[in-house]
């Protein structure tokens, strides 16, 4: 199913440190209460924090909402559609 152009744009919206909206999400690779790892159109994004919960996930629209206490936002790589040469692969691959 093709994405519309708005879904392909990657955007982060952080409200305080308690709510995060991410657009351009292609896949959620893994998540728990301390870390969410997702593939975006701008590369792999790692969200670190405490009591993290996915409030909304719409992969057709490329949108993800996260609630909790957000400590870090880290891009593993900057290549669009990347993820192959990310930090975790260099550490553990």
The pTM of this model reads 0.76
Which residues have a Cβ under 8 Å from the Cβ of 71 and sit 6 or more positions away? 17, 48, 49, 50
Supply the pLDDT for residue 42. 93
- Please state whether beta strands 35-40 and 25-31 pair in parallel, antiparallel, or not at all (unpaired): antiparallel
pLDDT in tens, 18-44: 999 999 999 999 999 999 999 999 999
Number of domains in the chain: 1
71 token code pair: 């400590």
**pLDDT in 10s for each residue of the chain, 93 residues:** 455 555 479 999 999 999 999 999 999 999 999 999 999 999 999 999 999 999 999 989 999 999 999 999 999 865 554 445 555 555 565
Q: How many CB atoms lie within 10 A of CB 22?
A: 22
The enclosing domain of 31 has a CATH number of: 2.60.40.2000
Burial readout 45-84 (b: 16 or more C-beta within 10 A, e: otherwise): bbbebeebeeeeeeeeebbbebbbebeeeeebbeeeebbe
**Owning domain of residue 53:** 5-92
How many CA within 13 A on the CB side of residue 90? Answer: 6
What is the pLDDT of the chain when averaged over all its residues?
Answer: 84
């Amino acid at each position: 199913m093709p994405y519309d152009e708005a879904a392909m744009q990657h955007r982060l919206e952080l409200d305080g440190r308690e709510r995060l909206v991410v657009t351009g999400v292609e896949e959620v690779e893994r998540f728990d209460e301390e870390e969410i790892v997702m593939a975006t159109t701008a590369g792999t994004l790692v969200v670190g924090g405490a009591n993290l919960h996915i409030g909304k996930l719409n992969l057709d629209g490329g949108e993800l909402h996260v609630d909790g206490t957000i400590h870090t936002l880290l891009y593993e790589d900057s290549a669009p559609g990347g993820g192959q040469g990310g930090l975790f692969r260099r550490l553990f691959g």
